[in-house]
A = this chain, B = another copy of it.
C-alpha cells in the first residue's frame, strides 16, 4: 500500500491506496467522489477526466503509484456546487449540454483546463481539444457542448455578462417552446446526479457484489455446471444458477403477432440447457466484494458441448442449419406486405425499375454508462429492482414469471441513466439482480464492464434487404417489391415487431400505390436485437432512400426533385395503407431546396480529385407512439406549495423530466404555477402510475396527453364559478381529493402480419435530411462537413431538449453511416473499436430548420422527436458519398476500405 498526502479540491487528504489502483477507483470507491464517472476504464472516453497538478488526465488510467505525493487534484466536486455553479456549468445547463449527463463532468473538467490554457479558443480549437483529449459524448453531437464552452469562455473573459448564462424566463411565464433547463441539469453538471454505480457505492453494508459467469462461445449445449469450488472461495455468499431460480427462468419476449412461431419464452435468465450467444449468463457469483466475486467466477466449472454457430441471418437460414432454439425454426416470423395491385406486372411494364441489395449492420448503442443495477427487498417485502430500464411496468411483466414472483411483489425503479437509446427496452440485468436477490435475501449490486456491456446487451438488428422500385417515365413511383431478413440474434424479444417495422418504413415518405413484400425474423447466434432509436427505420429507410437516389440517377432526375414528386400529398397513403395525419413534406422540401442548390454549387466548386465533395438528401419518417392502441396514465396532486406530477416517463437522457414538466406547466397555465413548483415523481412502479415505456418517441405524445388530461381533470374539479381556482387549503377544506388522474389512449390499430396494412400509429415525425460530405479518394475516408435537417416534430415543448435530440441523433446517424458496428465479438469490444464518433467526426455545422406543424393528436400540438434524427441521416450521407465520388455503398458502415473498393469497382 502507498500512503500519500494529496490535496483534493483544496482539502488535504490522506490516502492509503494500492499502488496499482487507478486514481478513478480511489476517487470514486475510496473517497466516494462519485462526480468523476467511469465508463470505458481504458482511457478513451474522458468521462473520468480530472485535473492533476494542472494537467488534464483520464483518471481511469492513472495508477496511484504515478500520482506524486503532495499532488493537487481537482474533480468535478471542486469546480462548482449546485448552490455555487461555475460559469462552465451554467453554460452547459443553458445549452442543454447535459442530456444523459454521464460524460458532462468530464467535459466540464476538460473545459476548465482548456480555458486555463487558452481563454479565447475558436470553436474549432474547442472541438480539437475534446477530440484530442478523448472526451466522448453520445447524446449531444458535441454541438451544445461547444456552444456552452464558447459562452462560458466569453463570460470568463468578461466579454459577456454573467447573466447571459442564465435562462431568461419568458415574460408571459410560459415555458412551452422555450429552452427551460431540464430539472436534472444542475445535478448532472455538478457530478451530484446519482447514476447506478454511484448509488451502488452507497448501498447498505450487507450488499452482495455480483459477477457473472458468462459463455465465451456462441452456441453450445450445457453438460454440467459445478459451483462447489467457487462457493468455497473467500467472501462468496452464493453462486446462483438456473436451479436457484424459482420461476420458469425465462424472460417473456412479448410476442406481438399470433403468427409468430416463437412463443417469446426463449430467453433464459440463466442458461440451463444451452448457450445461445456469446456472453450468455450461466451463473451469478454473489460475494462481499467485487474482487472476491470475480475471483470465484474463474472457479465455476461449466462443461459445454460446442454447436455450429450461425452469426448472420443467411447462415441461420441455410438448409443444413440446426434449430438454435430446438422446436422453433430459425425463421420464426414472417411479415408480409400487400398493398394495392400485384406488383409483378407493374414492374414488368414500368418505365424505370431499380433494384438494390442492402445491408445494415448491428449497431451498438455505445452509451457512455454501461449497464448497471441492483436489487433488494423493500420495507413492504417487494423485490425492488433499480436499473436503467426505460420500461419499468413492462419489464416487471417480462421478468416476473421467469423469476417466480407475483408481479405485485415486484417494484421497478429507473435510476438516473447514462444513456440508453433503446437498449434498455430489454430487461437482462434486471432479471439477474432479481434472481440473485431472491436467492440470497440480501441486497445485490451488478455492474457490467464495457466489454460485458457491449457483448451482453441487445443491438440494432442487421437487415438484409432486397428492394425493387418501379416508376413511370416521369419518375412517379408505381410499385415496390421488398424481401428482407432481420438478423435478430439469439432471442426473439420484440423481433416480430421489428420485422413489422420493415413493412412500415421501407418506402416510407412516398406514395407507392402497390407494394408486395416479405420480411422474416431470423434467429442467429449473434447479439439479440434490442430497440434502438428509430427502431427499424434506419434499416428500412436506408434501403429505400438509397434506391430513390439510384432511381433518380437512372431517370436523370435530381434526387431531391424525384422525392418531391413522390412524397405524401393528399390522397397518398403510407406503405401500410394509412393516410398520413399531415402533408407537409412538400413545404419542407421547398424550405430545403435553396440550401440544397447552394450546397451542390459549393461542392462542385470545392471538389478536387483527391477530396471529392458531394451533397445527398433523404427523407426520414417515424411514428411517435407504440404500435396499436397505446395508453398512458398520470396523476397530478395539489400540494400546499405547488403540485406533484407522477407517471412513468423513462429517461434515456433525452429529457423525460423536461418533457413532463413542460407539458404539465402548459396544461396548468390557468393556475399560473411557476415551473419550479411542479415536482415530479417519475419511474417507480410503487409510486408512479403506468405511463408506459419510453420508446418509439411515444412519450411526449402518449404520456404527454395523459399528463394533459390529468391536469385538465384537476382544473375542471377546482375551477370556481368565477373562473378562478381553489387553493390547496380550499380543496382540503371542501373535503375534495387533492389528486387527479388522467389517461390517454391512441386510436391506432396495429398492422396486419400478412399484409402489413393498418394504422399502427397516429402521429408521425417527418424530416428531410441533407448531408454535405468530402470523400478522400486516396484513403476512402468520408468526412461529413455539414448536416441539415428540416424537421417536423409538431409543436415543440422544450427547444433545448429537442435541439439536443436532433444533434445527438444525427451524430449517431453519422456513426451508423461510416464507422459503427458490432460484428466481431472479439474485437468490437470498446467504444473506439466499435467506431463511436469523436468530437471532430461530427460536423460543427448542423443546421436544424423546424417546420411548425402542430398535431391534432399531440398534446398542445406536439409530436415526438427522439427517433426522427436517426431515421435517415446515414442515407443522406451515403447518397452524398455517391454524388461526391460515384462510390455507392450498399452495406453499412461505409468503412474507408469499402469506399475504396466501391471507387475501384466504379472504374
Taking Cβ atoms with an 8 Å cutoff, the residues of A that contact B are 1-3, 10-19, 21, 29-32, 65, 81-84, 187, 192, 194, 199, 202-206, 234-235, 237, 288-292, 374, 376-379, 384, 386, 413, 415, 443, 684
Contacts and interface: CB of A to CB of B under 8 A. Distances in A.
Contact of A30 (B17, B187, B204): B204
B2 A378 contact: yes
Contacts of A14: 194, 199, 415
Given A14-B194, A194-B14, A235-B235, A29 B289 contact: no
Tallying the copies of this chain within the complex gives 2
Nearest to A202: B30
Given A3-B384, A413-B3, A291 B206 contact: yes
B291 A1 contact: no
A637 to B, nearest CB: 13
B19 A199 contact: no
Contacts of A84: 84
A291 B205 contact: yes
A10 B204 contact: no
B1 A443 contact: yes
| Residue from A65, A204, A289, A374 with most neighbouring chain B CB atoms (10 Å) | A204
In the A-B complex, the 4 residue pairs with the smallest Cβ-Cβ separation, listed nearest first, are A32-B32, A288-B288, A1-B376, A30-B202
B379 A11 contact: no
Given A3-B384, A18-B206, A234-B237, 11 more contacts: A2-B379, A12-B187, A15-B202, A16-B204, A16-B443, A19-B379, A30-B204, A205-B289, A205-B290, A235-B288, A288-B288
Contacts of A65: 379
Nearest to A2: B379
Contact of A3 (B192, B237, B378): B378
A3 B379 CA distance: 8
A31 B291 CA distance: 21
A83 B18 contact: no
Contacts of A235: 234-235, 288
27 contacts: A1-B376, A1-B378, A3-B378, A3-B384, A3-B684, A10-B82, A10-B83, A11-B192, A13-B194, A16-B202, A16-B204, A16-B386, A16-B443, A17-B204, A18-B204, A18-B206, A19-B379, A30-B202, A30-B205, A31-B32, A32-B32, A205-B289, A205-B291, A206-B289, A234-B235, A235-B235, A288-B288
A31 B202 contact: yes
A369 to B, nearest CB: 16
Contacts of A288: 234-235, 288-289, 292
Contact of A29 (B1, B187, B205): B205
A204 B31 CA distance: 10
A237 B379 CA distance: 32
A202 B8 CA distance: 14
A433 B14 CA distance: 19
Contacts of A13: 194
Contacts of A199: 14, 16
Nearest to A292: B288
A4 to B, nearest CB: 10
A291 B288 CA distance: 12
A21 B379 CA distance: 13
A85 to B, nearest CB: 12
Contacts of A237: 234
A810 to B, nearest CB: 32
Given A1-B376, A2-B378, A3-B413, A11 B202 contact: no
A640 B202 CA distance: 42
A98 to B, nearest CB: 15
Contacts of A194: 13-14
Nearest to A25: B205
Contacts of A12: 187
A643 to B, nearest CB: 15
A19 B376 CA distance: 13
Given A10-B82, A16-B199, A1 B187 contact: no
B379 A203 contact: no
Nearest to A21: B204
Contact of A11 (B31, B82, B291, B415): B82
Contacts of A10: 81-83
Contacts of A2: 378-379
B289 A1 contact: no
Given A288-B292, A379-B2, A16 B82 contact: no
A895 to B, nearest CB: 41
A202 B1 CA distance: 13
A557 B231 CA distance: 83
Nearest to A8: B192
Given A1-B384, A288-B235, A376 B205 contact: no
A14 to B, nearest CB: 5
Contacts of A18: 204, 206
Nearest to A190: B11
A203 B30 contact: yes
A1 B377 contact: yes
A740 B671 CA distance: 76
Nearest to A5: B681
A6 to B, nearest CB: 11
A714 to B, nearest CB: 21
A425 B186 CA distance: 50
